[in-house]
Amino acid sequence: MNDELLFADDTDEDAVQYQGTWKILIVDDEPEIHAVTKLALSDFEFQNKNLEFLSAYNGAQAREILLSEPDIAVVLLDVVMETDDAGLRIADFIRNEANNHFIRIILRTGQPGQAPERDVIINYDINDYKSKTELTAQKLFTVVIAALRSYRDIVAIDENRIGLEKIISASANLFQTHSVEHFIEGIVQQLSSLLGGSKDAAYLTCAVAGPKSLETSRLNSLEQLYVFTGQGEYKRAAGKSLPTVLSGEHLEACRAALNDKSLIYEDEYLVAYCESKRGSGSLLYLSGLPKRLTDSQKKLVEIFSQNVQIAFDNIMLTKDIEDTQREIIERLGQVTEDGAISLDYTQRIVDVCKVLGKALNLDKSQLKLLTSAVPLHDVGNLCGSTHALFKLEQLTQDDVDSIDKHTNFGYKLLKGSNKPLIKIAATIAKEHHEYWNGQGYPNGLKGDNIHLYSRVASIAIAYSVMRCPAQETAAWSVEKTLERIQALAGEQFDPNLVALLSENIHQIESASQGSVR
C-alpha cells in the first residue's frame, strides 16, 4: 500500500494557516538517535507548523529543559540511560513534580525486556511505548502526528476551561464596573480558543464615547470610537481613539462593520459590530486568527458579539447610576454660605482621602466607601451658617455652638440608614470636628475612639480649607499648610495620619492639580 494514502485525511488540516512551531524534546544518551530522529522528521509539518527540536542526553538535562520550556508538545524518551529506569523517572517527574499533564510522552527503548510494556503502561502516565527496532521513519511520523493532535486538543480544552473560569468569576461581579475588563478578556480568550487561536491573541473592544446620539449619522464616524480595553499588542491602547491605534485595511474593515452594523471576516482578523439597545453600540476587533472561519464559527462570533454587548450595556448602566449618585453627593457637599469656598474644596478633600486611604492599605471597597461618603461631611450646613467652619483663627463660643449645631444636624439627617455609605457619611458628619486630644466637638471624643474615616476626613478637610482660596482669603502655600498641620499633630490630628500626609504630600498635590475643575 502506498504510504502517502495513510495520511490523506491530513490535507484539510495542513491547509490551515497556523503560526509558530511544535517543540519536541528528544531524551536519549545516544547522539546517533538524536541525529536520526531529526533527520527522519526534518520535513515534518503539521497545520503549517514545523518542529523545533530540543535535546537532552541524561535525566538531569531533561529535567532542566522541562522546567524551563513548559510548552513542549512531545517528549521522545529513552528508558535506559545513566540508569536502567532513568526514562521512567523522568516520566514520573513530568507528571508529578513538574505537574505537566499536557506534554505527550512517547517511550522509546532498545531493551524492552528491562521495562515491560504492560507494566510501564499500567504504572506510568505515558501516551505511547515503542521499541527502537520497530520505530521506522514512517511509524515515527505517525506516532508524532497522533501525539501532536492529542496535545493540540488538550491545550484547546484547557484554554476553554480558563476562559470559562474567567467568565464565571467575572459574572459574580458583573455589575461592578471594574470587572468588565476581566469579563471581556475571558470571553475573548474563550472565543479565540474555540476558533483555534492562541490564548495570547490580540484584541480591541471599542465603544462610542457618550450616550446615544439622535444624529444617527454620527454613529458612522470612527473618530467617535474609543478603545475600551485591549490585549496583546493593544494592551496599552485603552482610552485612545480607534484611528490612532489601527490603520490601513484594518481600520477600513472597522469602518465597514460600523457603517453596515455587520461582521467582517478576513484571513487573520475579524471585526464584529455589537448592537446596543441603550447606547451607540461597540466594535470588537480580534487579530491573530489561525485560519479562515467556517460558517459555524461565524455563527458563534455573532452570538458572542451580542452577548458581550448585553454585558457591556449592563455594566455601563450600573456605572451611570454610580456616577449619578456620586454627583448628587458631591453637589450636596458643596453647599456653602455665599460661595465662601471654591468648588475645588470638595474634590481636594476626596483626593487627600484617597491618597491617605491607600497609604493606610484600605482595600478597594473601603476606599470607595470613604471617598464617596466624605463629600457629605458638611451636609449639616443646610441648617445654618458655615462661617465658623472655615476660620483659621481662634473660635469664639458662638463659633463653637454653630459647629456643634452643624455636626449634629448632619448626623441626624443621615443616621438610621442601613446603607453602608450613608452610615459612614453620618459618622463623618458628626465626628469630623473631633480632636485627637479630646478637645474637639461635639462630643469630645479622643484618639482611637474617633472613627478612622472621621480622622482621615478631619485632616483632609483642614488641608483643603487652607489650600483653597475663599472670597477674601488667598490659598496657603503647600509648605505653610503642611507646617500648620504638623504643628497640630497629637492635638487636633492623628499623628500617624499627619506623618502619612507629609510622606505623600507630592502625590496629594499632584492628584489635586489633576482634578481641579
At 361-373, the pLDDT tens digits run: 999 889 988 998 8
Residue closest to 224 by CA, chosen among 243, 237, 238: 243
The stretch 295-315 carries a mean pLDDT of 68
Angstrom distance (rounded) from CA 189 to CA 151: 19
Residue with C-alpha cell 469630623? 432
Which part of the chain is CATH 3.40.50.2300?
A: 3-154
Per-residue pLDDT tens for 91-123? 999 999 999 999 999 988 876 555 566 677 777
Per-residue pLDDT tens for 227-280? 877 777 888 888 888 888 888 998 999 888 888 888 888 877 888 887 766 556
Q: Please tell me the predicted confidence (pLDDT) of residue 289.
A: 73
pLDDT over 90 (residue 151) = yes
The stretch 42-56 carries a mean pLDDT of 91
Q: Please give the residue that has the higher pLDDT: either 206 or 436.
A: 436
CATH architecture of the domain covering 334-514: Orthogonal Bundle (1.10)
Per-residue pLDDT tens for 459-480? 999 999 898 876 567 889 999 9
pTM of the full predicted structure? 0.47
Q: Is the Cβ–Cβ distance between 281 and 208 less than 8 Å?
A: yes
What is the band of 2 on the pLDDT scale with cuts at 50, 70, 90?
A: very low
Superfamily, domain 173-318: GAF domain (3.30.450.40)
Average pLDDT, the chain: 77
Per-residue pLDDT tens for 312-325? 677 667 666 666 66
Q: Please tell me the predicted confidence (pLDDT) of residue 3.
A: 38
Residue with C-alpha cell 450613608? 422
Say which range, 12-21, 111-120, 184-193, 364-373, has the weakest mean pLDDT.
12-21
Q: Please give the residue that has the higher pLDDT: either 225 or 1.
A: 225
Pick one of 1.10.443.10, 3.30.460.20, 3.40.50.2300, 3.40.50.10490 as the CATH number of 3-154: 3.40.50.2300
What are the two backbone dihedrals, phi and then psi, of residue 230, each rounded to the nearest 5 degrees? Answer: -150, 165
Q: Is the Cβ–Cβ distance between 424 and 373 less than 8 Å?
A: yes
Which part of the chain is CATH 1.10.3210.10?
A: 334-514
Q: Please tell me the predicted confidence (pLDDT) of residue 222.
A: 74
The stretch 402-406 carries a mean pLDDT of 66
Q: What is the DSSP letter of 100?
A: -
55 CB neighbour count, 10 Å cutoff: 18
